[in-house]
Structure 1
Amino acid sequence: MVGSTTKMAPGGKGTQSLVIENSGKAAAKKVRLTYVTPVYVNVNEKADLPRGCRMKLADADPYLPQVVSCTLPRLAAGAKKKVTFPVTMTKRARFVGPNFGMGMARPVGTSDADPTDNWTQPIIQSIRPTPAVPQGHVVDLWHSIDVPPLSPQRGRDITFTFGNKGPDMNGPAQLVFVTPFYVNTDHKQPLPPGCSRKLAETDPLLPEVVQCNLRPIPAGAERQLRIPLTLIPGGPRGVVYSLAVIAPDNVNDVERDQTDNLSGPGALNIQG
């Protein structure tokens, strides 16, 4: 599968496309498709979704991605299918550069010979003009992630390291994490304090979405947050990437530079 790159300025609207190809020798009777918007991007509610698609997570919070689940008709051997989603970008985005979403497809009722090329990262390329930094108490948050190796026999934590370049925050922050495809949060273990699942799914083709409320981060401070993960068998091999964001969660705190608020967390599938 291949995802499009769409140029869009904050406050604008456009489309994002995913192209599915059946490179096998047999037709797929039906195909399931999942599309996850980048952070700061929503599905355009004033336009129609593609036929066979419905919203699984439709929260309008700019820090929460939206999740669309589709069931598509028969795809013949060697055939391609382009699915286009109407999208908008909030004016709360103030950065220039690539902003990654997620997409994955699988045939219904049969296995796939190689699911490793079934997922992609469609891009919304944020372009100028961008809104000015609003008036307020300016802070400068950042975060980074590791890439845990996972197998069906052994889950691991994904570790988020985050901080504030200053000054001190007036209020709390929030961190949003979307699991890669075929990866769940470990439901047998508790999430960190302040974290909850906005989308909780055992379906491997649907990600889970975790939102964490973080206490105010002082200037120069650095902290870590660990979320336990498990691997669902049958998914893509190697590293599969998703998305995450950290941001102030108080109207009195304004982010100086959003470019290091975003990341593409990954999990390494090492199943034998």
Structure 2
Amino acid sequence: MAGLAGPAAGAEPVGPLHPDLAVSTDQPLIVPGAGGVQTVVVSNAGAVTRGASLVTFVTPAYTNIDHSAALPGGCSMRYTNPDPTVPEVVNCLIPAGIAKGASVRLPMPLAVTERARLTGTNLDLVSVVAAEGSPDREANINDNSSMGSVAVSRPTPATPKGNKVGLYLTHDVPVLAEDRTAEVTLTYGNTGPKAMRGPVQITLVTPFSTNIDRAEPMPDGCRFALADESIGTPEIVVCTLPALDADEESTRRAGAQPEKPRT
């Protein structure tokens, strides 16, 4: 995969006069084919916010936003994709005035696809940053993003008829180099029992405060589904790769770099 890039060095010093926002979620239990609500909670342990705050919510795999239900006030779809294996992205603007000790709750309506033949924890991503144009500077960025989760429960759908394959995907945990770029390695394979009859689709979502490195080429077959270099919003890459025989494995590498700092 092309590289990743992380936060820029030399950030402005911050202290007790700055907001200290944090974000978390609850864990709803949803049956495949049904809907539910996951609540995002933004809290402030520092000074009152003087500008708007931007919340970004990324759905877990096999889950879409429930488009039959209303989003919370101030929220809109940043990226929509009916394919439940590709995340959808919601942006929410919280007005200035989150006081110290206060919190804001954003109930996100979700729908788990009937194709979700899995049980257990299904991870999503949520973050909060000062919105574009805000005078706020965050006191502690370490709790401005969170890996939330949706618990998918039984009954799960039966295995569909057809050509049975056993796909798997693993990845390393890259470390930023001195030039603040990194390369992530994705390994995917097919345990069988059958060879694939069609291509493999892999979806990569960048972590908080990280972009795809534009200086490096993407692997063949990969494209941006969501390209956004702004702070707080992830980038999404979808790769359509050649079919695998049974017991075959392949590797792709991608580069990344820090998101561009807000000025």
What SS is found at the alignment partner of 1:116?
Answer: helix
Match of 2:225 in 1: 198
Match of 1:269 in 2: none
- Distance in 1, matches of 2:148 and 2:110, equals 12
- 8 Å contact 2:230–2:260 — kept in the other structure? no
Between the aligned residues of both structures, percent identity stands at: 35
TM-score normalised by the chain length of structure 1: 0.83
- Distance in 1, matches of 2:73 and 2:248, equals 48
The answer to whether 1:26 aligns with 2:53 is no
Per-residue deviation at 1:27?
A: 3.2
The answer to whether 1:147 aligns with 2:154 is no
Going from structure 1 to structure 2, the CA distance change for 1:39 and 1:103 (only over 3 Å counts) comes to same
- 8 Å contact 1:183–1:232 — kept in the other structure? yes
Going from structure 1 to structure 2, the CA distance change for 1:152 and 1:55 (only over 3 Å counts) comes to farther
Going from structure 1 to structure 2, the CA distance change for 1:234 and 1:147 (only over 3 Å counts) comes to farther
- 8 Å contact 1:33–1:71 — kept in the other structure? yes
Count how many residue pairs are aligned between Structure 1 and Structure 2: 235
Going from structure 1 to structure 2, the CA distance change for 1:30 and 1:14 (only over 3 Å counts) comes to same
Match of 2:159 in 1: 133
RMSD: 1.5
The answer to whether 1:76 aligns with 2:112 is no
Per-residue deviation at 1:28?
A: 4.2
What SS is found at the alignment partner of 2:239?
Answer: strand
Q: 1:178 aligns with which of 188, 192, 205?
A: 205
User: Unpaired runs of 5+ in structure 1?
Assistant: 236-272
Match of 1:46 in 2: 68
Which residue identity does 1:198 align to in structure 2? A
- Distance in 2, matches of 1:28 and 1:130, equals 47
Per-residue deviation at 1:232?
A: 2.6
Q: 1:67 aligns with which of 69, 74, 89?
A: 89
Question: Relative contact order (C-alpha < 8 Å, sep 6+): which is higher?
Answer: 2
Matches within 5 A, 1:193-272: 193-232=220-259
- Distance in 2, matches of 1:226 and 1:73, equals 40
TM-score normalised by the chain length of structure 2: 0.86
What SS is found at the alignment partner of 1:134?
Answer: coil
- Distance in 1, matches of 2:59 and 2:258, equals 23
Match of 2:14 in 1: none
What SS is found at the alignment partner of 2:28?
Answer: strand
- Distance in 2, matches of 1:117 and 1:73, equals 20
User: Unpaired runs of 5+ in structure 2?
Assistant: 1-22
